[in-house]
Amino acid sequence: MADIERIGLESEEIGNSTVGRLRSDNEKLGKSYEEMVEIGSHVTQSRSILGRMTRRAVYSKLILMIIIVAEILALAIIIFFKWIRPLIGSKTNAPTMAPTMSPTISPTSFAPISPI
């Protein structure tokens, strides 16, 4: 009878110890789950931020490309009007008209401006 009582007390002690460890492990798992959920929300926020940064980088590159194309076009237009168009105009053998003066206005009809 004493052996049975002793075995019963040992079994109860082992059971209580096991239940205590299970509660401790359950608390650790609960904390780990909460941390995992928090980390998941941080990862979601990070992905959103990285997506916005990527879009802004693409927009910036697109704007820079548009500016570069505009500058190249402006340079090409300047080169055309400054050097190419005069060359094309001088090669044509079209008759030129002599400048004529209007009969109502002559250069001598203007009085010189006197200093004050």
Q: For residues 33 and 39, give the distance between their C-alpha atoms in angstroms, rounded to a whole number.
A: 10
Query: Mind giving me the DSSP string for 39-97?
Result: HHHHHHHHHHHHHHHHHHHHHHHHHHHHHHHHHHHHHHHHHIIIIIHHHHHHH--PPPP
Domain for residue 111, yes or no? no
Identify the pLDDT of residue 116.
61
Domain for residue 104, yes or no? no
Identify the pLDDT of residue 109.
54
Domain for residue 76, yes or no? yes
Q: Is the pTM of this model over 0.75?
A: no
- The parts of the chain modelled with pLDDT lower than 70 are 92-116
Domain for residue 113, yes or no? no
Q: For residues 73 and 79, give the distance between their C-alpha atoms in angstroms, rounded to a whole number.
A: 10
Domain for residue 97, yes or no? no
Identify the pLDDT of residue 75.
97
Enclosing domain of residue 46: 2-91
Q: For residues 21 and 29, give the distance between their C-alpha atoms in angstroms, rounded to a whole number.
A: 12
